[in-house]
Chain A
Amino acid sequence: MPGTGHGRLLALALRCYPPQWRARHGDEARELAALLAQDGLPARSMAWDCFKGAARERVAQMRTTRRLRTGAAALVAATSLAAVSLLVSMSPAPAGAAGVVRADITSRHEAARQLAAVFKSHHFGISVVQLPVSPSLVGSILATKTTGHSTGNDGILGRITGTCAGGARVCTKGLLLASHFSGHMLVMVGRAAKPGEKYAESAEVFRPGELLAGSSLLGTTVAAAVPVLGRLDLSVLWKVDGDKHCSAITPHGWYHLTGGLAISAVSICLDVAPSAQPATGPRA
């Protein structure tokens, strides 16, 4: 195939890709195309697929460097740029992984420091704020907020998700940022709470890693849960179905537990709702 007209077309298509892409995938893509051609896939359709792929790569580069406003204009410009690249053998232009900066959290207890180091090294106006959180949220990104004069959320290209502390899913473990981002932003990160400190953010108390994970209390009646909670030495508040606030008043014993949040390491607020048919009436 390499010597045929279609083979040459495919080679031309591959040359339309940015230099970084060719350096990484070029050889393997050529080999892959040869194998697919042996399987009967037309070289012309592979070449077209590669032309489209090259245009997408160029669009991605241009979006991050020039912030083109319309997709049609970007596509036309990208195709033109690809053609120019092909014809005049444009010299390699460093794109810094297509203008994307990746800020990852790999250690729960170093989360804030890891993010701050990446932001600092790229001279971003991004501050990291640590908030006390329930156990499964430690080392996760809780929220981002633009501050002052800013380009809005233009800087965040995506969020990297992963498993939360304790195994629950899904927590935000990193950000993909446009390298051109010039605004100001706060990134809020969860940290372990100090003894007695209230959580600023809290996850469902029954999910893995949280206070009542594996307790089997979810769905049980209040009457059955109260003695167990007493043994755990927890201060328990209750929120009956429909209420806005937690209350210290223990609901009817035949109500059942439907969820809850931790307020601190020693205090929780449990959601309860009446069971469909109370078997023995109120006796909490």
Chain B
Amino acid sequence: MALRKLEPGGVGHDVLRRAGDASVLILTSLAEGPKHGYALIQDVKRFSGVQLGPGTLYGALDRLELLGMIEALPVDARRQPYRITSAGAVALGEHLDALERISSVGRLRLGFGRA
């Protein structure tokens, strides 16, 4: 087998892109610390203005858990808290890097480039 240089990064971004916007918002919220559903919805609304409904929230939580990006913590007062895993943190970092690149290019092309 030929020696091959592996492409650095990119995998986590691709996974998150397919997982959807709600997943990115949830990971961003959990990057601050563990939260349960209601706290997640409140935090996401606070920093992004997006109001997640219960159906969207639990769908995204299940997908992220299946992908190993978050993990459920022991139930606290009948509420299920979640925390971000190291794989989730890496994937979120890659995704945000990619968004930043896209944002820079978009701004430049719109003529909003930094002086």
Contacts and interface: CB of A to CB of B under 8 A. Distances in A.
Contact of B54 (A53, A102, A200, A203): A53
B8 to A, nearest CB: 7
Given A35-B38, A158-B67, A28 B86 contact: no
B115 interface: no
B79 interface: yes
A46 B79 CA distance: 19
By size class, the interface of chain A is 35 or more
B72 to A, nearest CB: 9
A162 B54 contact: no
Interface string A113-155: 0000000000000000001000001000000000000000000
Nearest to A131: B1
A203 B6 contact: yes
Nearest to B51: A41
Nearest to A56: B59
Contacts, number: 120
A51 B68 contact: no
Contacts of B86: 162-163
B66 interface: yes
A104 B55 CA distance: 28
The prevalent SS among residues of B at the interface is helix
B2 to A, nearest CB: 9
B59 A170 contact: no
Given A33-B54, A102-B66, A159 B4 contact: no
Contacts of A163: 86-87, 90
Interface in A189-220: 199-204, 207
A97 B67 CA distance: 13
Given A202-B3, A203-B6, A261-B5, A21 B58 contact: yes
Interface of B: 1, 3-6, 8-12, 15, 18, 36-38, 41, 51, 53-59, 62, 66-68, 78-80, 86-87, 90-91, 94
Given A163-B90, A201-B1, A261-B5, 9 more contacts: A27-B78, A29-B37, A35-B38, A49-B56, A53-B53, A158-B67, A162-B68, A202-B4, A207-B8
9 contacts: A21-B62, A49-B56, A100-B66, A158-B66, A159-B11, A159-B15, A160-B68, A161-B68, A170-B9
Interface of A: 13, 21, 25, 27-29, 31-33, 35-36, 41, 45-46, 48-54, 56-57, 97, 100, 102, 104, 131, 137, 158-163, 169-170, 172-174, 176, 199-204, 207, 261, 263
